[in-house]
Structure 1
Amino acid sequence: MINKLKLIACFLLIGSAGVAQEVEFTEYDLDNGLHVILHQDNTAPVVTIGVMYHVGSKDEAPGRTGFAHFFEHLLFEGTQNIDRGEWFNIVAANGGNNNANTTEDRTYYYETFPSNNLELGLWMESERMLHPVINQIGVDTQNEVVKEEKRTRVDNAPYGKIIYNTGIVPYMFDKHPYKHSVIGTMEDLDAAQLDEFKGFFDKYYNPNNAALVVAGDIDIEKTKKMIKDYFGPIPSGPEVERVDIEEEPIEEKIIATEYDSNIQIPAMIYVYRTPSMKERDAYVLDMISSILTDGKSSRMYKKMVDQDKEAIQVLAFPRTMEDYGLYLMGALAMGDTPLDTLASSMDEEIKKLQNELISEEEFQKLQNKFENRFVNSNSSVQGIASSLATYYMLYGDTDLINEEIDIYRDITREEIKEVANKYLKENQRLELEYLPQTDTQ
């Protein structure tokens, strides 16, 4: 009886946690095309104001890579009403924090404030959209900042070419601008003229190419009025023509070698081109990643790290994007283990997924992991704001913040086997030997 009561209590706890994570929101459009999403949560006096622009590295012109990421920095320089260098000071002085980030598909800016500074946050983001100062001193300053970031995060970081895709995407895409890394090249930024930066802003940083999210301790009607006051007068821009480039399928194995002077341990990496983040198969691949390398009980970790002691670390994860995706698998060699040995072990795990259904026990464990991830995914208003903007802009369905878990729940063992066969094919992948740089290379 005691065990049954514990079991019932556990189910009740899981059920209540799931309900607690239900995110209610209101969304609508202003006349200028700005999409607005509001989430009210008055449990803590905190509010996040975020603006996501539908522009990423894939939207850059040939020979001008790095523009989208560059703007992530440039638009903190100042506005007509915020003095140069004062953006961060204003946020900090009012008890807030802020940041921005860029991907292949979008750029996101946000501030988190005590909720009595909601209006300040709205004003600052409207200033960024309407009145940014884009001048040569700002471009020159941020050019140096971006160069230092590239040196720190990519050029001088161990496995930087893998982490930031710079050593991967040129092999995986021929036509699509995903073939360029998000951070771009410094040569392209150095060659750009001031008018090109202004033109990039005029093309993409308009209300009809953006989503504004306000999440936290707010009053919906009062917030709507402030949004209309600050963002309503901003004029719409031209309609953005979206990238529409289809890649030819990869039909022959790509074999390549990359060198890294910052590492001592070689790695064997497999990379597959996969479907858009919006496709159901992308969710299945996410589950496959968990089976292979999520935790010490995962298949690759148990075999390659614990049992055979041929790897010191294993990895498998999808890099999801709006148009296509990438799926990476890899292992770092233990001692003098040949990379061929790592490759054989990874192939063995792939074949198991392709030829055998995962057990019911493993499948239930997998479902539990994703349920737990869902329950914890929206634990802060800052996270909720980012999720709402992402689901709207890149998936076209804001409701996914609550409903995405149903996709995972609906995935079957048979589907996992089917997707492994569909995408993890030897003739459709990059086999990358990632080696320490030596003086002779």
Structure 2
Amino acid sequence: MTSDDTTGAAPAARPRFGANYTPSEGWFHHWLDFDLDAVRRDLDGVSALGLDHVRVFPVWPYFQPNRTLIRPRAVEQLVALADAAAERGLDVNVDGLQGHLSSFDFLPAWTQTWHRRNIFTDPDVVSGQVVYLRTLAAALADRPNFIGMTIGNEINQFAAGPHPDPDRITPEQADTWLRTVLAACEEGAPGRLHLHAEYDAAWYQDDQPFTPAQAATIGAVTAVHSWVFNGTAQRHGRDGVATGQHAAYMIELSKAWALEAHRPVWLQEVGAPAPLIPPDAAADFTEATVNAALDCADVWGVTWWCSHDVSRSLADFPELEYSLGLLTNDGRVKPAGEALARLAKEGRDRAAPAPRTTALVVDAGAGAGAGFGGRSVCAPGGAVFEAFASLVGDGVRPALVLAERAEEASHLAARGIREVVRPADVLG
């Protein structure tokens, strides 16, 4: 699969269920004191939930501390983790450029302060990224349980505000960078599922240079990261329709920009953040979110954030980060874990959802496809977002379609859409 291929991967025969692997001991700093036995215990817990894959996170500066030094021992440890996962029936997706994790930035010293360079456009930095990503992919290319590479964890947050020191780029530069680094992954592991993943600013923020069109057309599948602390739960409450439907909304929103009617979509991150979703509501939120997501067509899989709670012995995390695990630090299954285990067991045999015959029009402005545009209409409080929630509340299962394609008969027919409505028709 080349990075230029906009047709994506074939939809999964049935949805995958997995977890973003957060080590119970040492968090992602575990790479500094790698303990394969501890990893095995963690993966035993994930496997016991009936999940089939994990997404794992090499920390970029730990693996590539100098632009021309990729630590062989770190790469060996990554392969050992993948092999341990295989022994437990788990496939592995590897995120490359961490990048950003749970409010902390991890960038190599050779991109910062005295060596400050734009991580998306500086030729030396990009060439270092290419070699690094190709090396990780090649190290795993012969492992049957290797799904493929994700470029990095929400790396678009480095490209614009509210990041305090962004590496500013244009949408055209973002496009070039994405295709370059995805090609490196393909060179390292040909034919695997290589993709990129942004946080929701790509869909909601008007001046974000990573665009919906890039998310929905570049790479093997479209990834969405759904977090209701983005204003959704604050506005609609923990039990609000929009809160339980947020992941499904993002999946359907991604389809509006996809060129192919049935491009697979991976719900790659979703979790129950306290206190907006309190512990006694986490299981219900998990069930509502996953059921809503599986009511969307062409879902490749659901990967919950995250496997294990962050230890309270570690300082300075935002409060919500300590309690997102499906399991506690000592391996006890939490209510959300029990819910996801049940949903995974039931979901693999779930019938494919019926087409969504009513489509809500997304008019984000002409620039929103390839460049800057009015994407804020899609964000919580925006007309498209609120109209979608209103329709769902009325019992409708809405799709979303770009304004410029709302009268394109062949596109609508390929998606099973028979009726088109506009936000003003819904909201009055």
TM over 0.5: no
Kindly indicate which of the two structures has a greater share of residues assigned to helix: 1
- RCO higher in 1 or 2 (8 Å CA, sep ≥ 6)? 1
TM-score by length of 2: 0.25
Work out which of the two has the higher radius of gyration on C-alpha atoms and give 1 or 2: 1
TM-score computed with the length of structure 1 as normaliser? 0.24
